[in-house]
Amino acid sequence: MGNKTGDAQAQTEEAILIVEDDREVVDITVRMLEQEQFKNIRKACTGEDAIRELERSTVEVILLDLGLPDLPGEDVLERIKERYPEITVIIVTALSDVDTAVRCMSRGAFDYIVKGSEPGRIITSLRRALQVRKKERDFAILRERIQSPSLKNPEAFAPILTLSERMKSLFRFVEGVAPTDEPVLIVGETGVGKELFARAVHIASGRSGAFVATNLGGVEDLMLSDTLFGHKTGAYTGAQDARPGLIATADGGTLFLDEIGDLSGSSQVKLLRLLENGEYYPLGSDTPKQSKARIVAATNHDLEFLAREGKFRKDLLYRLSTYKITVPPLRERKEDLPLLCSHFLQGKTDASLPYTLTAEALDLLYQYPFQGNVRELRSILMQAQVLGTNHTIDAVLLSKLLKDVSGKTEPPSFESAPYLFPAKLPTIRHMIDDLVHEALKRTKGRQNEAAALLGITPQALSKRLKQKRTL
């Protein structure tokens, strides 16, 4: 959906083969499928014809009659599942026999339908089979992307500056889920870059439609419905001209709903309908519209807690979080601090010189908790550039700025009495050695992460380790 490659694939993947020797039954089945918008329909009147069709083309689902003129239908089923186990086979037969049905299901049939028994059963079973096959393909792509050592769409993640392996693992996950149509929920604290991840999902998806973003926080319900769903002329007082709404604007693209946790109860119901069947109603309209926009939502709230409190619908939460991306806070990836500082301290123009941080100033940043995450870091450094002299930001200036922001410059305190000392106190040197050893143990030898735990720069830790080895 949304791009030519995806549309071509959908047409091939949804190829349906009808294996039936009764021409009248075939014609009735074809008309029924075409009425339900199935276009890629193929036909075979014998078992051998069906096998030859599979040898020369790709088929997604087979509707197989058991009463074929050349081969027993059960033998055809067995041959298909041996050679093409990925193809879904639905038995459609006049034979109502429990033993036959059990044998067919044990040989790999997806469903067993008796002709004329339940009107609409074939369509229901067919849609369910196609949905299962799509899920299987999506998970196969996801596994491949996550296991891949490199990104296929690195440009999608270029705005997210990181050296963190945890973040890079998230990139691979995003690449895996991006090509699907399923909703994505991005969670994380304020300032971690949730919208950057939403844009990465859109770019990596290859969708031809637009990326449309809106913030749901604090918006009154009627205004929100108007913004998302649009309205017809005269839908309410003052609605002189029709408005398409953001869902229509994002058709074939991605609709990013930020602050989804602030959505009112009535708006949650409307969004759930959109997610479940792609339908929505513009204000003042009794006719539903179909949407092909992919939904990506974000929040810094704990939606599971809100759901337990009855403030957020559980069914909407389950629908939104088909794929969930949890963006870590900056304090859990402090190995990114030097890279981010270098980026934010670049000169404002090509001719201007970049600012630099002293080692002591960088040490202060390693100890700071950054409740506002990357956004707070950028704000602090922007202020520092205004107040700094000689294009240098030292610890004295940075200490003042951090105090202005948080009210204190000390790193967050530990719980009271966290240490148990032996009767004979160890030397400071031994304490430092033990602390470094413990940090490396917890991070499995990753020095950047160990340095972040210790509140020092990676360079300082490396220097300490080299000194220890030369002793």
DSSP string of 336-396? GHHHHHHHHTS-SSTTSPPPEE-HHHHHHHHH---TTHHHHHHHHHHHHHHH-BTTEE-HH
Residue 202 has pLDDT above 90, yes or no: yes
Check whether residue 188 and residue 312 sit in a common domain: yes
Residue 9 has pLDDT above 90, yes or no: no
In a domain, 418, yes or no: no
**And the tokens for 378?**
């950028």
Closest CA to 111 of 83, 139, 141, 131: 131
448 or 246, which is more confident: 246
Residue 221 has pLDDT above 90, yes or no: no
Which pLDDT does position 456 carry in this prediction? 80
Which pLDDT does position 103 carry in this prediction? 93
Check whether residue 52 and residue 183 sit in a common domain: no
Which pLDDT does position 18 carry in this prediction? 95
Q: Which residues contact 461 (CB under 8 A, 6 or more apart)?
A: 436, 447, 450, 451, 454
Residue 1 has pLDDT above 50, yes or no: no
In a domain, 262, yes or no: yes
211 or 279, which is more confident: 211
Check whether residue 167 and residue 274 sit in a common domain: yes
* 292-296, 322-326, 349-353, 412-416: segment of lowest average pLDDT: 412-416
**CA distance readout (Å), 258 to 196, 234, 261, 300:** 12, 29, 9, 9
Give the separation between CA 249 and CA 245, rounded to whole angstroms.
Answer: 6
pLDDT band at 298 (very low <50, low <70, confident <90, very high): very high
**And the tokens for 290?**
């179909």
The last residue of a domain, from among 294, 325, 356: 325
pLDDT band at 41 (very low <50, low <70, confident <90, very high): very high
Q: Are 73 and 91 in contact (CB under 8 A)?
A: yes
pLDDT band at 312 (very low <50, low <70, confident <90, very high): very high
pLDDT band at 415 (very low <50, low <70, confident <90, very high): very low
Sheet of 88-93: strand order equals: 41-44, 16-19, 61-64, 88-93, 111-114
pLDDT band at 416 (very low <50, low <70, confident <90, very high): very low
Q: Are 185 and 321 in contact (CB under 8 A)?
A: yes
CATH number of the domain that residue 101 is part of: 3.40.50.2300
In a domain, 146, yes or no: no
Residue 406 has pLDDT above 80, yes or no: no
Average pLDDT, the chain: 85
Residue 249 phi/psi, 5° resolution?
-65, -35
Check whether residue 216 and residue 261 sit in a common domain: yes
Which pLDDT does position 8 carry in this prediction? 36
The last residue of a domain, from among 290, 306, 325: 325
Check whether residue 294 and residue 342 sit in a common domain: no
pLDDT band at 413 (very low <50, low <70, confident <90, very high): very low
Could you tell me the pTM of the whole model? 0.66
Residue with tokens 């020797």: 21
Percent of the chain with pLDDT over 90: 48
The last residue of a domain, from among 272, 293, 325: 325
Show the domain range for 444. 428-470
pLDDT band at 420 (very low <50, low <70, confident <90, very high): low
How confident is the model over 421-469, as pLDDT tens digits?
666 777 888 888 888 888 888 777 878 777 777 878 777 788 788 776 6
Helix, strand, coil abundance in the chain, percent, nearest 5: 50, 15, 35
Which pLDDT does position 347 carry in this prediction? 60
**How many separate domains does the chain show?**
4
Check whether residue 89 and residue 17 sit in a common domain: yes
In a domain, 148, yes or no: no
Which pLDDT does position 389 carry in this prediction? 78
Closest CA to 92 of 72, 73, 78: 73
In a domain, 149, yes or no: no
Check whether residue 297 and residue 338 sit in a common domain: no
Check whether residue 435 and residue 463 sit in a common domain: yes
CATH number of the domain that residue 396 is part of: 1.10.8.60
13 or 143, which is more confident: 143
Please compute, for residue 454, the number of CA atoms within 13 A of its CA located in the half-sphere on the CB side: 27
How confident is the model over 81-98, as pLDDT tens digits?
999 998 999 999 988 889
Residue 113 has pLDDT above 50, yes or no: yes
pLDDT band at 196 (very low <50, low <70, confident <90, very high): very high
Using a 10 angstrom Cβ sphere, with 0-12 exposed, 13-18 middle and 19 or more buried, the burial of residue 390 is exposed
Give the separation between CA 181 and CA 188, rounded to whole angstroms.
Answer: 22
Check whether residue 320 and residue 339 sit in a common domain: no
Give the separation between CA 268 and CA 311, rounded to whole angstroms.
Answer: 10
DSSP string of 68-80? -SSSBHHHHHHHH
Check whether residue 168 and residue 314 sit in a common domain: yes
In a domain, 198, yes or no: yes
Which pLDDT does position 412 carry in this prediction? 43
Check whether residue 227 and residue 262 sit in a common domain: yes
Which pLDDT does position 469 carry in this prediction? 62
For 186, the 3-state DSSP assignment is: strand
Residue 210 phi/psi, 5° resolution?
-80, 160
Residue 52 has pLDDT above 60, yes or no: yes
How confident is the model over 340-376, as pLDDT tens digits?
999 998 865 454 678 889 988 998 999 999 989 999 9
pLDDT band at 407 (very low <50, low <70, confident <90, very high): low
Check whether residue 255 and residue 135 sit in a common domain: no
In a domain, 235, yes or no: yes
